Amino acid sequence: MVWQKFVDNLSRGLAFFPPNPPTYQLAQHGDGDRETYVHPLRSHLKKVPKAQVYQLGVKKETIVAAFIPGASAVSSSGGAGGKQGVRWTLVHSHGNAVDLGEMLPLYEELSRLLRCNILSYDYTGYGCSTGTPAVSHTLDDISAVADLLQRQLGKRLEDTVLYGQSVGSGPTCYLASHLPTLAGTVLHAPFCSG
């Protein structure tokens, strides 16, 4: 417990640099369905209407997650793919100085190019997620996202690839070590240990 507090305090100043102010705010669609969306606050960022937004309770905080459903591939006969959606889901843990507002347009394009679902989230203290960033919080955050993936979205671990970028490599490795049936894990510019 003492060691974890030391690591959290040290990492807070060395690893976590959430955009301040956040690059987005949460808003509700004006069509009466009251669904929440990520509203970009910077002019160069675009809204991603098909992103499904979730607010997840993690201990005493709330984190924001976004799911972009992939488009089914076009069949050889020219018709649309199956109605059940695409098989693969990529769970992305972003780098240390961005939030969902900046990443959603990239996720939308990545989903289109790879023909996969994309699920991502803001760490505690990033974007519209509450609290203060810490290593221990990122582990709780990704665990809550894995629960969302399976329970609410109905996605199978066998069809899921974790992708951790920079500081996101920590929670990605943590979750991968606890879920051996995942399809794969990608580490992009990970932190090294020792």
In a domain, 193, yes or no: no
Residue 122 lies in domain: 2-72+84-188
CATH code for position 176: 3.40.50.1820
Per-residue pLDDT of the chain (194 residues; tens, 9 = 90+): 666 665 566 566 668 999 999 999 999 987 777 799 999 999 999 999 999 999 999 999 999 999 999 987 554 444 444 456 799 999 999 999 999 999 999 999 999 999 999 999 999 999 999 999 999 999 999 999 999 999 999 999 999 999 999 999 999 999 999 999 999 999 999 976 53
In a domain, 77, yes or no: no
Q: How far apart are the first and last CA of the chain?
A: 21
- CA-to-CA distance for 68 and 75, rounded, in angstroms? 21
The C-alpha angle with vertex 14 and arms to 10 and 15, in degrees rounded to 5, equals 110
In a domain, 40, yes or no: yes
Q: Does a cis peptide bond (omega within 30 degrees of 0) precede residue 40?
A: no
In a domain, 79, yes or no: no
In a domain, 164, yes or no: yes
On whether the pTM is more than 0.85, the answer is yes
Domain count, the chain: 1
Give the single-character DSSP code of 166.
G
